[in-house]
Amino acid sequence: MDIEQRKYPRFSVQNHTFAALGSEFEIVGKVNDISIKGLSFSYLSNNIEAGSNSDSSRVDIFLSKNNFYLANVHCKIVYDIPKHISSKNHSVMTYRCGLYFGKLSKIQSKLLELFLENYTTGPL
């Protein structure tokens, strides 16, 4: 049996929650879950070696159904792994990426708290 080693609870997010990784949104995907210290998201790529080539970056978190937008959160990529093949021709893969948030500004911390209180369910 696996023992959960996370210090902070993870929460499910609303269906229209997305993460954009990198300064120019190099990778954009759907957020799977989030905590006060990080998140995981899934994205599609037709590049066999898609995973991120950097272990630190920045991420923007947003909802497509309202005006919530949390910008420029410094983060470290914990994992970026293929999840499964998404199409019959095997050219598109789903990847799962886990991020650990770096130091947040006061405004970013408040926005993240607001997001956790209003746009999540859980904990998982």
Domain with 34, as residue range(s), is 11-121
Residue 60 lies in a domain: yes
Residue position matching structure tokens 């120019």: 24
The answer to the question of residue 5 being in a domain is: no
Per the domain annotation, does 31 fall within a domain? yes
- How many distinct structural domains can be found in the chain? 1
Tell me the whole-structure pTM to 2 decimals.
0.85
**Environment class of 37 (CB within 10 Å of its CB; exposed 0-12, middle 13-18, buried 19+):** middle
* CATH code of residue 73: 2.40.10.220
Would residue 46 count as lying in a domain? Answer: yes
4 falls within a domain: no
Task: Name the amino acid, one letter, at 50.
Answer: A
* Of residues 57, 52, 67, the one with CA closest to residue 101: 57
Per-residue pLDDT of 23-71, as tens digits, reads 888 899 999 999 999 999 999 987 655 555 566 689 999 999 888 999 9
